[in-house]
Amino acid sequence: MNQQNRNWTTDPVLSVEHLTMRFGGLLAVDDLSFDVGRGDITALIGPNGAGKTTVFNCVTGFYKPTEGRIALRREGSVSDAALAELTRGGQQYRRADDGSVFLLERMADFKITEIAGVARTFQNIRLFGGMTALENLLVAQHNELMRASGYTIGGLLGLPGYRRAAEAAKEKAVEWLRRVDLLDRADDPAADLPYGAQRRLEIARALCTNPVLLCLDEPAAGLNPRESAELNTLLKYIRDEHGVSVLLIEHDMGVVMEISDHVIVLDYGKKISDGTASEVRNDAKVIAAYLGVDDEEVDEVERDLDVKTAHTPAPGGAL
Ligand SMILES: Nc1ncnc2c1ncn2[C@@H]1O[C@H](COP(=O)(O)OP(=O)(O)OP(=O)(O)O)[C@@H](O)[C@H]1O
């Protein structure tokens, strides 16, 4: 990927700037800045406790950051000047002919999902276990259905506008069930599905909210190799056919290196590397962080790496 093709510099959908999150005396995220390219799969990686989930929680409104700006350009090309004006003005978002932009650090979590278009999944699956797979996907579209009812008794009375919206919601749910290969389990309670199927259902549920940005917290955790390969295919499909930007936290380097357009590496709440998968894979600081060596040893790792790359024509699987 050359410099021109870096969506995260030419067309960022999400810009995290100087994000800091403190828990009492603990600095979990330390003046972190990065961009997520529109239509990219972006991976946030790093050793345990590096601050990845905290970043997710700030982006999705579960935490209010101690400091920093998190701007989501939902569509269009909102200029930096317009963004600066919004920031100064104290509003949460701006919608105009040239596009819409949302300052997520100022918004409540439900508004981030509903109007900014950010959906997420969790490290620990959070489906409605007693509801069927289909019902889980219909509940996800509750906001849209409420809008169609005009927030009145229209839904109960079965007015045409509501009936059409209900039909469309069911069609969307069925389509996503088919796509994640769960159509034959539509009427089974979510809790009865095997683990890998629950993970896919959670992704389908997030997609039913029509997100611009889909945040996945360790989607490959607990999956077997076949399921991991299916997940890769699904995520590429979401990116390529639906244009959804994907931001994922992932420990499975096979998944990260195969599907990511862009990788950001955190260590102790700071960014230590940012680039394409192959750039990051060959970054000595990243290798050092994963191997847990001290800072002084990084030079040594870098020297080792220089020697290795001099003898190895193609980069491969360093992590
Ligand atoms: N709500 C909280 N209260 C206090 N400390 C927290 C809280 N959430 C996270 N932390 C701390 O912040 C640091 C970063 O944690 P975080 O969960 O963001 O890391 P992570 O990179 O997602 O780790 P993992 O890969 O293990 O999930 C850790 O030291 C953690 O203990």
Q: Are residues 102 and 3 in the same domain?
A: yes
Tens-digit pLDDT profile for residues 234-246: 999 999 999 999 9
Atom of ligand 1 nearest to the CA of 56: 18
Share of the chain above pLDDT 90, in %: 61
Q: What is the rounded average pLDDT of the residues 236-263?
A: 93
In a domain, 318, yes or no: no
Please give the Cα distance from 7 to 273 (Å, whole number).
Answer: 17
* Same domain, residue pair 50 and 188: no
Distance CA 266, CA 289 (A): 9
Q: Is the CB of 29 under 6 A from ligand 1?
A: no
pLDDT at 38: 96
Domain count, the chain: 3
* 28 ligand 1 Cβ < 6 A: yes
Q: What is the DSSP letter of 187?
A: T
Q: Report pLDDT for 300.
A: 62
End-to-end Cα, the chain, rounded Å: 20
pLDDT tens per residue across span 175-217: 999 999 999 999 999 999 999 999 999 999 999 999 999 999 9
Q: What is the CATH number of the domain that holds 65?
A: 3.40.50.300
Protein residue whose Cα sits closest to atom 8 of ligand 1: 54
Whether residue 267 has its Cβ less than 6 Å from ligand 1:
no
> CA angle at residue 132 from 131 to 138, to 5 degrees?
85
Instruction: Encode pLDDT of 119-130 as tens digits.
Output: 998 877 788 888
pLDDT computed for residue 158 by the predictor: 63
Residues 27 and 163 reside in one and the same domain: no
- For 294-302, the CB contacts below 8 A with 24+ separation are none
ipTM associated with this complex:
0.97
**Domain containing 113: what range?**
1-117+211-277
68 and 97, same structural domain? yes
Same domain, 97 and 232: yes
Boundary residue ending a domain (167, 183, 209): 209
Q: Are residues 159 and 306 in the same domain?
A: no
The residue whose CA is least distant from atom 3 of ligand 1 is: 23
Average pLDDT over residues 276-284: 90
- Give the confidence band of 98 by pLDDT, cuts at 50, 70, 90: confident
Give the model confidence (pLDDT) of 32-90 as tens digits.
999 999 999 999 999 999 999 999 999 999 999 999 999 999 987 788 888 999 999 98
Q: How far apart are CA 127 and CA 95, in angstroms?
A: 32
Same domain, 149 and 15: no
pLDDT surpassing 80 at residue 150: no
**Do 92 and 238 lie in a common domain?**
yes
82 and 226 belong to one structural domain: yes
Residues 3 and 106 in one domain: yes
